[in-house]
Structure 1
Amino acid sequence: MTEADVRFEKIPLPTGVTLNTALAGPEDGPAILFLHGFPESHRTWRGLVPLLEDHYRLIMPDQRGFAASDAPQDKDEYSTDKIVADLFALVDRLGLDDFTLVGHDWGGAVAWAAALRGDPRLTRLAIVNAPHPVIFQKSLIEDADQRAASQYITAFRTPGFEQAVEAMGWDTFFAKGFGDYVERGLISPEEKAQYLADWTQPGVFTAMLNWYRAAAVIVPPPSVTVPLPDFLLKAFPKVKVPTLVVWGMNDKALLPIQLDGLDTLVDDLTIVRVPDAGHFVPWENPQAVAAALKPFLELAKRA
C-alpha cells in the first residue's frame, strides 16, 4: 500500500473516538468496509488495495486502540458493543446506504457481531480467519488443540504483560509473532518499522491488549474441565446475510476446526480454503482473498 493508493481522513465519531481511516477507490463505487485485527492496522489490507481499488470504494479504519486512531485506556472501552457502535457510527458518517463488511481476526469478531444486529445496510459479510463466537467458545472448552493454541489470550490478559514485552524488547516480541514471515520475505524492514512505531506509541499497546481483556470469551487452562456457558446451550441467532468465509488453512492460532458446523449458524454460506497460507492470509496471499471476494461481490451487484 503506497500513499498514491490511499488517502487518509481522521473521522470523529459520536462514540467518543476518532478513527484514522484509509480510503481508496472511486467514491461512487460499491462500498467495502474492512476491519483489521491484532496486532495490525489498516495496513492489513495493503495487498488487496491494488486488486480491488479500480471498482470498489475501500474503507479501512484503524480500529479504536490501534495505530493512528484514538486509544482510550479503560478496558471497558473495548467491549464488543462499543466497537460495533464505532462501525455503524462510521457508516453513518460516511453516508453509506449499503456496504459489504470484511473482517480479519478481531475485525472478524466485530463483523460477526455486527451481522447479528440485522442492520439492512450491511448486505454482505466476508470473514477472514476469524471464528464464529459459538464455535470458538465451544472449541476452547472441548478441543484440546484449540485450547492449547489459544493460551496466548491468557498471557495477553495478564496484568503487567506490557512491561514484560518492554523487558524482553519489542524486536523479540515482533520476532515471536512475525519472525517466520520476515524470513519468507513477506514483511519488509519498512513494514516492521511501521509495526514497531505503532505499538510503541504511549498507551497504544495497552489499548490493543484491552481487546482481549474486555472480551467475554472463556479460555480454560489446559486439562481443566469447565461447563459450557449458557449462551452455548440456547438457540443462537443465525446470520442472515450472505456470508463468505476465507480461511488460511495453516493458521496455528485459529485451527480449521473453526469451520466445522458453520453451516448451521449461517443461512447462506460459502467457504473458501486457502491451503498455502496461515493466519495473515490477507497479506500472505492477497490474490487468493481477492479471487474469493470478487465473485461474491459481483453477486451483490446483481442482486
Structure 2
Amino acid sequence: MSTTSIVTRGSVDLHVVEEGDPDGPVLVLVHGWPDTHTLWDRVVPHLADEFRIVRFDNRGAGASTVPRAVSDFRLEHLAADLFAVIDAVSPDAPVHVLAHDWGAVLSWEAVCETRAAGRIASYTSVSGPNLDHLGTWMRERVTALRPAGPLEQAVASSYTVLFQIPGLPVPALRWWFARHWPGFVGFFDRADPAAIAPVAPTLADDMVNGLKLYRANIRRRLFRPRERHTTVPVQLVQNLRDKAVRPVGYEDTYRWVSDLRRVPLDAGHWSPRTHPAELAEATARFVRDVEAKKSPSPHR
C-alpha cells in the first residue's frame, strides 16, 4: 500500500509517494529524463519488504510543479529539492539514495554538498555522472593527448547538442518519440519494448519540460567544472551496454569519492526497467553493508 503527499520548497510542489516497510531504512529513489517516479515500478517490489521507500516526481515532471525559467532547472535547485524531500520524510536520520539518469546527476550534486554527510547515508548511482567530474576528466584527457575516452562519451552524448536549441527538438519529442517511446527505448537498449511500457500519461510534457535540464546545466558544468568531493559512500552501478553514458567516463571517480564501489551490470541505459531485480539486489546489498558499519559492535 502506498501513500502520497506534497513537499513544498519555495514555489515548487513535489509529488511524493511512500510505500514499503515503515520501520525499515529509508531509501529515496530519484528518476531522470523523461521519466517520473513510475520509473521504479519494477524495482520497488524487490525492495518493499526491507525498506521504507520514498520516490517523487522531480520538478518539471509528472504531478510536480513545472517552473517556467530555464535557470530554475539548475542542479543546485534540484539538489535542494532532494534535500527538502529527505528532511520531510526523515528529519531525524540520514537516508539512502538510489538514482538514475538526471536523477543521478542531481544526486551527485547533493552528495557533494557539505550537508550531505548528515543527511545521506549512501548513494547508488545509475547512468548519470557528476557533471563536474566528467568535465574535469574530459579536459584532462584531451590536454594529455588521450582523447579516446572523451571522444567515446562525446559521440554518445551528441544528441544533447540538439537539446540545447530552444524549440528545435520539441515537435519530434512530442509527436513521435512520446508516441513510440517503448519501441524506441527497446531498440536503443536492445530490450523487449514490453519491459519499458507502460509510460506515464505526462510523458510528452515531461520530455519537453525536461529539456531545460540540458540547457541549464550541460555547458555550464562541463566547460567550467568545479572541484567536488564527497565522503558519502557511493556505489556506481555501471551499465556495460549503456549507449548514453559510457562506463569509461567514470574511470577517475575514485579521485573525488573517499568510499567508492563499482558494480558492473550487463544492461543498457534503462536498467531500472529492464533489470529491476539485479539493480534492487545491488542496492540492498550496499545499503545493508553501510548500515552494518554504522551499528556499534557488540561487547564481548
Q: TM-score, normalised to structure 1's length? A: 0.84
Q: 2:136, 2:225 within 8 Å by CA — same for their partners in 1?
A: no
Distance verdict in 2 for CA 1:258–1:181, change over 3 Å = closer
8 Å Cα contact 1:15/1:82 also seen in 2: no
- Cα displacement (A) at 1:74: 1.5
Q: Report how many residues are paired.
A: 280
Give the direction of change, closer, same or farther, for the CA distance of 1:92–1:152 in structure 2 (3 Å limit).
same
Distance 2:252 2:112 in 1: 17
In the TM superposition, what is the alpha-carbon distance from 1:79 to its structure 2 partner? 0.8
Contact 2:3/2:17 (<8 A) preserved: yes
Q: What is the DSSP-based 3-state SS (H/G/I as helix, E as strand, rest coil) of the residue aligned with 2:124?
A: strand
Counterpart CA distance in 2 for 1:118 and 1:269 is: 18
Correspondences of 1:70-89 after superposition (within 5 Å): 70-89=65-84
Q: What letter corresponds to residue 105 of structure 2 in structure 1?
A: A
- In structure 1, give the amino acid aligned to 2:209: A
1:136 counterpart residue number: 134
Q: Which consecutive residues of structure 2, in runs of 5 or more, have no partner in the other structure?
A: 143-149, 295-300
Partner of 1:294: 284
2:179 matches 1:171: yes
Aligned ranges for residues 1-303 of structure 1 at < 5 Å? Answer: 6-96=1-91, 97-119=93-115, 120-138=118-136, 142=142, 143-160=150-167, 161-166=169-174, 168=176, 170-172=178-180, 175-180=183-188, 184-187=192-195, 191-192=197-198, 194-195=199-200, 197-201=201-205, 204-217=206-219, 229=223, 231=225, 236-274=227-265, 276-302=266-292, 303=294
Cα gap change, 1:138 to 1:247, in 2 (>3 Å): same
Question: Offset of 1:217 from its aligned partner?
Answer: 3.4
SS at match of 2:195: coil
RMSD of the alignment, in Å? 2.4
- Specify the code of the residue in structure 1 equivalent to 2:39: T
For residues 168 and 278 of structure 1, do their structure 2 counterparts lie closer, same or farther at Cα, with a shift above 3 Å needed? closer
**How much does 1:186 deviate?**
4.1
In 2, Cα distance between equivalents of 1:8 and 1:59: 10
Aligned-partner SS, 2:128: coil
Q: Which runs of 5+ in 1 are unaligned?
A: 1-5, 220-227
Please state how far the C-alpha of 1:22 moved relative to its aligned partner: 2.0
| Structure 1 residue 164: Cα displacement | 3.9
Indicate the percent of aligned positions where both proteins have the same amino acid: 25
Q: TM-score, normalised by structure 2?
A: 0.84
Write the distance in 1 (CA, Å) between the matches of 2:261 and 2:44: 23
Task: Give the residue type in structure 1 aligned to 2:203.
Answer: W
Q: Helix, strand or coil: the match of 1:33?
A: strand
Q: Per the alignment, do residues 17 and 217 of structure 1 end up closer, same or farther by CA in structure 2, a change over 3 Å counting?
A: same
Deviation at 1:285, TM superposition (A): 1.0
